[in-house]
């Protein structure tokens, strides 16, 4: 994707995780499961739960952290993008609530819904406003309060999800860093494999929809597992090949943190060494749109991201959606 346009680069990264920890041992008291069973099948030991606050609370914490890390003011932000499947409400967008709460009076704002692919989708979308010259600073946040839509008695889902948020600030690159290329996909024929039926115009909220559990997330676990393993590796390798690169050229691969077995299978298919792969699912679980930016933030704090590093972000989610972004790391705070 050769271009004379400026690249959008990440200049700040931030994450927010709620204080309360829900361990596998805690779940043993609610559903028929065990710590050993969960660890073996998912790689998850614990997840964070947000009590008494909505998704916008976490997204706002991330937004404030990005401003603080970058040393800029809320009025310097041109656009706020929030990727989420757990908005505070149907209307208005959670991004608008964040815009108000941080005082970004000059920014416009909207939500993007692509489930676990949400942050990568939003990152690529936000980058277009930078590379086109339309905007100078775009805030991209992935945030989900999955505990709000997870059935606590459904063993197939309650063990997987947690609450959390992460985000980045995008600006025009001046050092050769930034988004190099991307590849995004969707396949709506897989809509029944991972969904929340209730609450939309197809299944409006009623006493019956609540009684039937239509407002909880449901999935065809085996189908989603196979799809994720295939598509994560496929889209990642395709993007690398298009740019005349191999997986061995990567300094860090940051996959969606859905399941440790999915991550390992993807890494094996790509022939990646363990030190090339960022994982934090053990203590964070699957935070949906939050996984990739949270992992990116942790990787930066751990010293695993250096200027000039080649980084790939890949995710798969409900829709079905999947995609990958390739970037050269800059001097992010």
Q: Any idea which residues carry the catalytic annotation? A: 116, 256, 286
Distance (Å, rounded) from C-alpha 228 to C-alpha 262?
7
List the alpha helices (DSSP H) in 192-259. Answer: 207-211, 221-242
CA torsion sign for 203, 323, 135, 132 is negative
Which of 192-223 are b and which e, b meaning 16 or more Cβ less than 10 Å from the residue's Cβ?
A: ebbbbbbeeeeeeeeeeeeeeebbbbbbeeee
Residue 169, sorted as left (phi over 0), alpha (psi -120 to 50) or beta, turns out to be: beta
What is the Cα–Cα distance from 159 to 46, expressed in whole angstroms? 9
CB 172 within 8 Å of CB 113: no
Distance from C-alpha of 173 to C-alpha of 11, rounded to nearest angstrom: 9
């Amino acid at each position: 994707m050769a271009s004379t346009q400026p690249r959008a680069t990440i200049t700040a990264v931030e994450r927010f995780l709620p204080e309360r920890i829900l361990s596998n041992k805690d779940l043993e008291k609610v559903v028929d499961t065990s710590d050993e069973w969960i660890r073996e099948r998912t790689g998850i030991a614990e997840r964070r739960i947000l009590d008494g606050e909505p998704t916008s609370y976490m997204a706002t914490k991330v937004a404030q952290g990005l401003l603080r890390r970058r040393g800029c003011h809320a009025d310097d932000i041109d656009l706020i993008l929030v990727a989420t499947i757990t908005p505070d409400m149907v209307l208005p967008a959670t991004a608008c609530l964040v815009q108000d709460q941080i005082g970004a009076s000059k920014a416009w704002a909207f939500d993007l819904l692509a489930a676990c692919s949400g942050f990568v989708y939003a990152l690529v979308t936000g980058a277009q406003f930078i590379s086109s010259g339309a905007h100078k600073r775009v805030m991209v946040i992935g945030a989900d309060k999955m505990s709000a839509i997870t059935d606590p008695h459904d063993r197939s889902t309650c063990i997987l999800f947690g609450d959390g948020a992460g985000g980045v600030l995008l600006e025009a690159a001046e050092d050769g860093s930034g988004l190099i290329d991307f590849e995004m996909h969707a396949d709506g024929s897989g809509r029944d494999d991972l969904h929340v039926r209730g609450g939309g115009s197809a299944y409006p909220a009623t006493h019956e929809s609540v009684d039937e559990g239509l407002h909880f997330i449901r999935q065809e676990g085996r189908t989603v597992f196979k799809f994720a393993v295939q598509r994560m590796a496929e889209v990642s390798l395709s993007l690398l090949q298009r740019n005349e690169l191999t997986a061995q050229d990567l300094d860090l691969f940051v996959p969606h943190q859905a399941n440790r077995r999915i991550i390992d299978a993807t890494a094996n298919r790509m022939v990646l060494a363990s030190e090339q792969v960022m994982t934090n699912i053990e203590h964070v679980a699957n935070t949906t749109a939050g996984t990739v930016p949270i992992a990116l933030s942790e990787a930066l704090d751990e010293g695993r991201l250096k200027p000039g590093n080649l980084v790939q972000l890949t995710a798969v989610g409900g829709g079905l959606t999947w995609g990958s972004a390739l970037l050269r790391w800059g001097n992010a705070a």
